[in-house]
Structure formats: C-alpha cells, structure tokens
C-alpha cells in the first residue's frame, strides 16, 4: 500500500507541476497562484468539518499559534509565487527537479541542527 501511495503522490505532484507550467504561460504566475490557493482553501474548508479540524481554532491557546500560522502561510505564499514564476520563465526540465529537491535540503538542515 505504501508503494502505491508513493507512486500516486509522485504522479500527482509531477502532474501538478506540468499543469502549472501551462497555466503560468497562459494566465501568469500571480493569477495561477491565486486560483491554486483559492481552490485549496475551498476544498480544505469543505473537508475540515468532516475531519474534525475546526476544534483547535478557538481553544484559548493565545496569539502565538495564530502568529506562527500567519508566518508559515506568508512563507508558503511567497515560495509558491516564486515557484510559479520560475515555471513561467524557466525551463521545466530544470525548474521541476530543483523544486522537487527540497526534501534533501530539509533533511540536511534537520541533521545540521540536531
């Protein structure tokens, strides 16, 4: 089952990069990013009630989780826009493998920081 899910993930991840390449050429990186984020927000909003994910939004834990979430969301938006801009102006054969190498960088940073 793990191999099947891994293959499915690789296929959908590559397919998303392939579709993003055409979308950025047709409508631009900013609009592509907007539509991608809007679609993700709507789908996640529909799934959260069934998965029980709304319970921790107002549990009285203070402002720190909201600040970290805002910071993470900001980094995600900037990096996603940079990726889509790279798809728009760069070669797919170069951009896709470079952007897919982030797990190696994450592993290296985790190993370096203990």
Q: Is the model's pLDDT at 23 over the cut of 70?
A: yes
Whole-number pLDDT of residue 99: 82
Please report which helix (H) or strand (E) contains residue 84, including its range. Answer: helix 64-89
3-class DSSP state of 101 = coil
Whole-number pLDDT of residue 4: 92
Q: Is the model's pLDDT at 110 over the cut of 80?
A: yes
Q: What is the pLDDT of residues 72-87, one digit of tens each?
A: 989 988 988 998 899 8
Output 51 or 4, whichever has higher pLDDT.
Answer: 4
Please report which helix (H) or strand (E) contains residue 99, including its range. Answer: helix 92-99
Q: Assign 56 a pLDDT band (cuts: 50, 70, 90).
A: low
Rounded CA-CA distance 13/24 in Å is 16
* Helix axes of 64-89 and 92-99: crossing angle, nearest 10 degrees: 160
Structural domain boundaries in the chain: 2-47+74-113
Rounded CA-CA distance 65/31 in Å is 29
């Amino acid at each position: 089952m793990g191999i099947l899910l891994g293959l499915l993930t690789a296929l959908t991840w590559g397919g998303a990069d392939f579709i993003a390449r055409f979308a950025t050429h047709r409508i631009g990186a900013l609009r592509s990013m907007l539509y991608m984020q809007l679609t993700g927000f709507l789908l996640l909003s529909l799934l959260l009630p069934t998965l029980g994910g709304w319970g921790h939004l107002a549990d009285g834990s203070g402002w720190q989780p909201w600040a970290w979430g805002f910071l993470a969301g900001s980094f995600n938006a900037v990096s996603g826009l940079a990726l889509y801009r790279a798809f728009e102006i760069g070669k797919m054969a170069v951009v896709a493998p470079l952007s897919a190498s982030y797990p190696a960088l994450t592993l290296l940073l985790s190993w370096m920081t203990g």
